[in-house]
Amino acid sequence: MRLSPITPVTIFLLLCFSSFLSAGELIVAVRGQPSAYTIVLADDGGNAHLDHYLTLAGKTVQQVIRQATGVDLPIVLEKDFSGEPALYIGPTQALKAAGIDVASFQLWEHLVFASDGNIYLAGNDRPANRELRVPGSHVYHVLGSLKAALVFCERFANTIFPMVDVVASLPADKIAVPDDCHIRVIPAIRYCNGRNLSVIYDVANNFFPAPWYGNYGGHSHDKAVPTSLYESHPEYFAMFKGERPAPTYREDAPGSSMY
């Protein structure tokens, strides 16, 4: 049996077929080489607090890429950026143009998405729906875009967040994302609260607060039993030296009803 010779046309067809079978890569950074990518933040995250956390997401991605490859990516707002490629973070106009509207995302839902050479890290971001006891604290916000940025770091930059204020990235020759990447996650558990430590550690390890419901720590008596009930139900409140003083939730007050 005589085999047909391999012709240049055959080689070309084989190359085309193999490229069809295996997705290409978007190379974000290569050790020792400048990157074509820019980290681009959404102009408006929703309010000043959410803008702060988008900036934190950008700086964390920047830090991780620097640790892994030694390459520094610039960070800019979308309004100040023109050109491609970009690593977009948050509810950018570019993400909407790519056909994704995070306004429809569920609580803590997040996305790592590649399209046309760009990479998008975004999620469900919600501001606090009540007065902040600690202004700006992450426990009062849903930070899906920050979660998406941390997932990017874990999946593609060999990064873990094992302790408070520890971001550990293994050295890498390059950081690359499949050009057909589409990771979209709705966490099975969207409320996991306790002693909050730091925003990066908490969000990376799925320690999600629930500001849409209300986080009160361990001192919730003032919400369950408001002081307005004192006149009609004094028995709801603490007895101190044989009397039930008018309720107060100041920790330093005698007979405080906080505990």
The pLDDT value given to residue 165? 86
The pLDDT value given to residue 19? 33
The pLDDT value given to residue 167? 92
Find out whether 229 and 210 touch, Cβ atoms under 8 Å: no
| pTM exceeding the 0.75 threshold for the entire prediction | yes
Question: For the segment 149-169, what is each residue's pLDDT rounded down to a tens digit?
Answer: 999 999 999 999 998 889 999
Over residues 133-156, mean pLDDT: 88
pLDDT-derived band at 235 (thresholds 50, 70, 90) equals confident
The pLDDT value given to residue 3? 46
Over residues 188-213, mean pLDDT: 83
Radius of gyration of the chain (CA): 25
* 189 has pLDDT over 50: yes
Spell out the domain ranges in the chain. 24-204, 219-259
The pLDDT value given to residue 1? 46
The pLDDT value given to residue 258? 47
pLDDT-derived band at 228 (thresholds 50, 70, 90) equals confident
Domain 24-204 is in which class?
Answer: alpha beta
The pLDDT value given to residue 108? 94
pLDDT-derived band at 250 (thresholds 50, 70, 90) equals low
* 18 has pLDDT over 80: no
The pLDDT value given to residue 139? 81
Most confident of 6-10, 58-62, 123-127, 224-228: 58-62
- Following DSSP, what letter does each residue of 137-154 receive, concatenated? -GGGSEEHHHHHHHHHHH
Over residues 39-53, mean pLDDT: 93
C-alpha to C-alpha distance for 124 and 69, rounded to whole angstroms: 30
Helix intervals (H) in the chain: 8-21, 48-69, 93-97, 144-156, 199-204, 221-224
Q: Which helix (H) or strand (E) holds 33?
A: none
- DSSP reduced 3-state for 95: helix
Over residues 143-153, mean pLDDT: 97
Average pLDDT of the chain is: 84
